[in-house]
Structures are given as C-alpha cells and as structure tokens.
Structure 1
C-alpha cells in the first residue's frame, strides 16, 4: 500500500470514568496511505468511538494515537483535525452555507485561507465529487446522495490526508448510497485521499481494501474483505449481516453451480454467472 498514516497502539476509552467496561479496550491498528479501510461492527461495538478518537474529537484514557509524526494530545488536536477530515451520518446537520459554494468554502474561511486560493480549492473539490453544476444551489434542494457528496467536497477542500466517513451512507436510499460509494472509490483510486469508512453494512465494507471488525470495544477480526467474510457465521453471531451476493454465491455452490468464488459484490456474481451461461 504505502507508508503508515495512522498508528494506534493499545488505546482505552471510557465514556464514564467509573464504567466497568470501556468503550474501547486495548485497540491497536494502523492505516496505510492510499487505502480504503472499513471499520465495521454492530451498534455499541466501539466503531464510532474509534472514529472520534482518530479525528481527535475525544482523547483516549490510555494508549497512543499518531497521525503522521503527530501524537494525539490536547495541544495537538487541531493539528490532527487538519490531517483527518470527517463526514458524518446526517448531511443536513453539516450544512452551514446558503449555497453549495458557500458551504464548501466555510471551513477554508474559518482557517483564513486567502480568497483566490479558496476559490481554487472550492472549484477543485466540487469537481472531485461531480457537483460542479450545483455550486449556486441551496443544499436543502439536493438529494441525500448529492448532499453527502457536497459534505465530502467540504472535507476535500481543506486538503486532509485522511477522510473518515462515519456511517455516512446509512441514511441514504440505494441510489444515494451508490453515488457516495462510487465517489469514495474514485477518490481513493486517484490517490486524492486515504479513506476510513465506519459502517455496520458489510456490502459497503466489501468495497474496501481492508476490513477491521469491532465487537464489544475490541478488535474482533482484521483482513481483506475475502478473509473477513470467511468467518461467516461468526460475523452473524456478533450481529452483522453477510452481503446478499456472498450468501447467494454460497447457496448456489451448495446447489452444484460451479462458481469459482463466493462473490462479495453483485456485479462479480452476475459476471461469473453470465460467463458460465456463455460456456454452456
């Protein structure tokens, strides 16, 4: 992949200092440059708490977090946030500008970026998410997928090394979800930004390069999507649903259909079924 951008070692976090069970319990992980890392888990697994630590929204009680050469501490929080941008679940809660242009520019204005450079960055960012035709529209007139793409543009304009999507597709319809995930895939492939997606949706995680599964505040599993989905029923037991295409692939193989793989995506399954049909 590339160099390590985030290095997390043995972090512990409790929302209440006297809590018996921490929200994060001795969690270690790394994030590589130019990868898409999906962190998955059911509600209460610790995945969103982990996202907030990585962005410096909360500080761990123990352990270390390094983003590049910067260690997360109270005095370095704003340096961390310049490197790690975050897109949240509900796009409507993120808008502050009266137009798409104003909204994407908001963070740059707050950081005192000069006007000419700000115009340049806004134009570049909206092009990255294919929203350049909507610059003068009011955000509340956009679809859910378009709103999240604007939110992504607002993050990109600030030029972070890493972008975290915290359940950013969970409130979208299927079309909006695909719009956002395709945008993320292209940004990652172009090397524009390293991506961390926090999700309970294994269909979304299947598109990532690497997956970390959280359960009960601990790291339950880690590997490529193919390696993680091999855990099969163990994932179901901790409250996750295997992707439809993966389950259907396995059922077809059990019925004698000579599939080479249990497919992680519907596109892959359809392609192999079509190939088999063409051979026959």
Structure 2
C-alpha cells in the first residue's frame, strides 16, 4: 500500500441538532491503492461517513483530510475533484441518451476539450468492458452493465478515490459479481483507491480491510479474516456472515478437517477437493 490518502480524526456528525449523533468520534486512515469496505446495518452511520468523505456533509467536530486537503466549506470542490462516487440505483444516475453521452457528462461539466473527452470516454469504457455499447440507450442495459457505465463515468474524470455507496445492493447476483470483479481489476491495474459502503459481508470479504460500523461508532477494524473471527458478535449487530464462512464453520463442527474458515466459495471448494483426493 502507498501513503495515507484519507485521514479521518475524531469525526462526529449530527443531523439538524439531533441529540444522538449519526457519527461519534470516528477515526481511521486509508492508504493509496487500498480497497476499504465500510459495513454495517441500516442506521449504522456508514452512508453518512461516505457522504462526508465526498464533501456532501461537513463534520460537526473532528477533521477529514483527503489527498492532503482538509475538508471545509472552502475546499469542498477541491475534494470532490479527487473523489468519485457511484450510488445505489443505477437508473437514477443516467443523464445522457446514450452510454457515450452519459460518460461524457462529467467531462463536459469540467470543460474538458472534445479531443481529450473522446480519448477518456474510449479509455474509461474499455476499462469496464463497455466500449462496445457506446451508442446504446442506458435503459436497454442490464443492472450490472448500468453500474459499469456509472463507474466509467466516474473513471473518466480521473479521480484518485472511488466510493461505491451500496452500488451493488439493487443488482442480481450476476450483476453484483460483474461490478465487484470490475472494481477488483481496476484496483489491481492502477493505484486507484476504493471505498465500498455495504451491508453485504460477502462483498466486503473481497476488500483489503474492513471497518464495521454500529450505532454511529467504529465497532471493529481489520482484515476480512480478522473481522470474521468475531463471528456471532457480527450477527448480534445485524450482519450476515458470508455463506462460505458459515459453511466452513458447520463442516468443522461436523468433524470434517477444514483447516480454515473460508471467505470465498473457491477457497472452500479447493480445500474440500484436496481433502477428497487424500481419502
């Protein structure tokens, strides 16, 4: 991982002077090129945190630095140039009549010259494997394709950080996998920093690190392996453990000599196949 690119210190945030804060004394750092998943049930504070990182909200107390810039009313637009955001419902994000027009929207707002705009549109749509759909109308695309176009629109403006705010929650399993694999490839091919906001621990298991939010506070932070060792404590705060992890646990309890609790189906299948070959 690279240098610290996001630094959140003791952030508290209130909505309209409410007595109970939506966020309470939250602190963490994100390294350049890292994939951080922020998870929690509804009302845990994870989406509020995402909006603070993008400058949509300003903390009541505490500080946020993004790419060395301290978040304030005066620096909101400087920070938004560094952070791209993909939201939950792909249908609510389209503004163009074609895929090409939609990806061009952010570039036009930033007054990018047409020649450079065309180059970026081609580059960004290729990165998400949607360059063959430039003249398609967005409403003819599948959910996963729509979110890949939304990601292309963010990539085209070349942010340093991309935030996925429940970006897969309305997709079917195929579309969800398309988006997650696209993000994984983008991260592996570049120094792009990814923050995914989700309630899905199976999705979060793909990240480098996880922060679990509960009641507006940071409940736990660590690698997926470290976080999932909390097991029933995560269930108690309303989260569902990934199916491969649950199945690994059940198999061990049944006496099958599984060596670890697996986070992916592939890992579990591979170990079961290895055990079978030894019998």
TM class by smaller structure:
over 0.9
For 1:260, what is the secondary structure of its paired residue? coil
Partner of 2:278: 279
Partner of 1:9: 9
Q: Deviations over 1:25-80 (max 9, x none)?
A: 00011111111100000000000000000000111111000011110011110110
Instruction: Structure 2: give runs of 5+ residues left out of the alignment.
Output: none
Partner of 2:85: 86
Whole-angstrom distance in 2 between the partners of 1:46 and 1:266:
30
Q: Deviations over 1:101-139 (max 9, x none)?
A: 000010000110000110011100001100010011000
TM-score under structure 2 normalisation? Answer: 0.99
For 2:74, what is the secondary structure of its paired residue? helix
Partner of 1:176: 175
Partner of 1:123: 122
By how many angstroms is 1:278 displaced? 1.6
Partner of 2:71: 72
Partner of 2:261: 262
Instruction: Structure 1: give runs of 5+ residues left out of the alignment.
Output: none
By how many angstroms is 1:255 displaced? 1.0
For 1:96, what is the secondary structure of its paired residue? coil
Residues 41-56 of structure 1: matches in 2 within 5 Å? 41-56=40-55
**RMSD, aligned α-carbons:** 0.6
Whether contact under 8 Å (2:32, 2:191) holds in the other structure is no
Whole-angstrom distance in 2 between the partners of 1:150 and 1:30:
29
By how many angstroms is 1:192 displaced? 4.7
Whole-angstrom distance in 1 between the partners of 2:81 and 2:266:
37
By how many angstroms is 1:259 displaced? 1.1
Mean Cα displacement is larger for which, 250-259 or 153-162?
Answer: 250-259
TM-score under structure 1 normalisation? Answer: 0.99
